[in-house]
Amino acid sequence: MDREFLSDLFADFGPVTLRRMFSGYGISADGTNFALALRAGLYFRADEETIPQFEAEGCGPFQYQTRSKTVTVNSYWQLPARLFDDSEELAVWARSALGAAQRAELRKRPRKRPVARTAKAPAKKVSAKKTAAKKAAVKKTAAKRPSKK
């Protein structure tokens, strides 16, 4: 599948962004990746709400082979072949896949950024009591200093 074919395929769905990925393309809308176009076919994002649709069509999840085993990716399912000829229904499935991808993003926890540490001074754990005592000492010192006017 080439870029032009994929752009035409999603014409009824709306504008999509195609990004080179593995042996094909990652397909996204509004910054959310919802489909994969690979040599093996077109796969849409799926979740507990949409998997029954794929199963009813006799489709299966994305699978790939490693040296020692077959890996199954249950979050992407192969699109029924009949939808390649029905762009309106493909658009309905694509909206469903986009919804599944957005729901998956909502379930992810935001990542905390690691605190930068210098090589010379590793971070020390300070108890809450010590921290409160230090803050009180700083306030006392500041109160004793004459103000500059």
So what's the pLDDT on residue 108? 80
Q: Is residue 95 part of a domain?
A: yes
Residues forming a β-bridge with 59: none
Asked whether residue 125 carries a pLDDT value surpassing 90, the answer given is no
Q: Is residue 136 part of a domain?
A: no
Q: Is residue 10 part of a domain?
A: yes
Q: Using one digit for the tens of pLDDT, what is the confidence trace for 39-60?
A: 879 999 999 999 999 999 999 9
HEC string for the chain:
CCHHHHHHHCCCCCCCEEEEECCEEEEEECCEEEEEEECCEEEEECCCCCHHHHHHCCCCEEEEECCCCEEEEEEEEECCHHHHHCHHHHHHHHHHHHHHHHHHHHHCCCCCCCCCCCCCCCCCCCCHHHHHHHHHHHHHHHHHCCCCC
What one-letter code names the amino acid at 46?
A
Q: Is residue 112 part of a domain?
A: no
What distance in Å separates the CA atoms of residue 91 and residue 101, rounded to the nearest whole number?
15
Mean pLDDT throughout 51-72?
94
CATH number at residue 41: 3.30.1460.30
Q: Is residue 124 part of a domain?
A: no
What's the pTM? Answer: 0.69
Domain that holds residue 72: 3-107
Mean pLDDT throughout 108-120?
66
Mean pLDDT throughout 70-82?
94
